[in-house]
Amino acid sequence: QPFSFWAKASISTYFAWAARFWILNCVLQAFLPSVDHFLVYGRQLSMWVIMLISPTPGGSGIAEFAFSGFLGELIVPGSLVIVLAIIWRLASYYPYLFVGSIILPRWLRRTAKK
């Protein structure tokens, strides 16, 4: 493929992943307008590395635990940590599962050898 193809693919991949990480910043901005977004973004990158080595699909359970560990000190009311972790996962993880459960069977049917 020409260089322009790979450049477009790289740029779109970068923005797709960046948008996925920005979801947490948007959730925190809704509840905590004074939070340092670069700090949150960096800590979330570290959380994703931990979730990659998690034995559970999508880091279920680990993500929520890591959320309180990495970002708990930034969220002043402690009871808000659990609520924000759930909102974050509802917005960033579960839509992929829902859409995938619709797309995967159709894709498998279409690509199955007959």
Q: What is the pLDDT of residue 58?
A: 65
Asked if 74 and 39 count as a contact pair (C-beta separation under 8 A), the reply is yes
0.75 exceeded by pTM: no
Q: What is the pLDDT of residue 64?
A: 80
Q: What is the pLDDT of residue 105?
A: 93
Q: Which residues of the chain have pLDDT under 50?
A: none
Report in angstroms the alpha-carbon separations of 48 from 31, 41, 68, 103, 109. 22, 11, 14, 25, 32
Q: What is the pLDDT of residue 78?
A: 74
10 Å Cβ neighbour count for 68? 15
What DSSP line would sit under 18-47, residue for residue? HHHHHHHHHHHHHH-TT--HHHHHHHHHHH
**CA–CA distance, 5 with 100 (Å, rounded to integer):** 26
Encode burial over 70-102: b for 16+ CB neighbours within 10 A, e otherwise: bbeeebeeeeebeebbebbbeebbeeeeeeeee
- Of the candidates 98, 104, 16, 106, the one whose C-alpha atom is nearest the C-alpha of residue 58 is 98
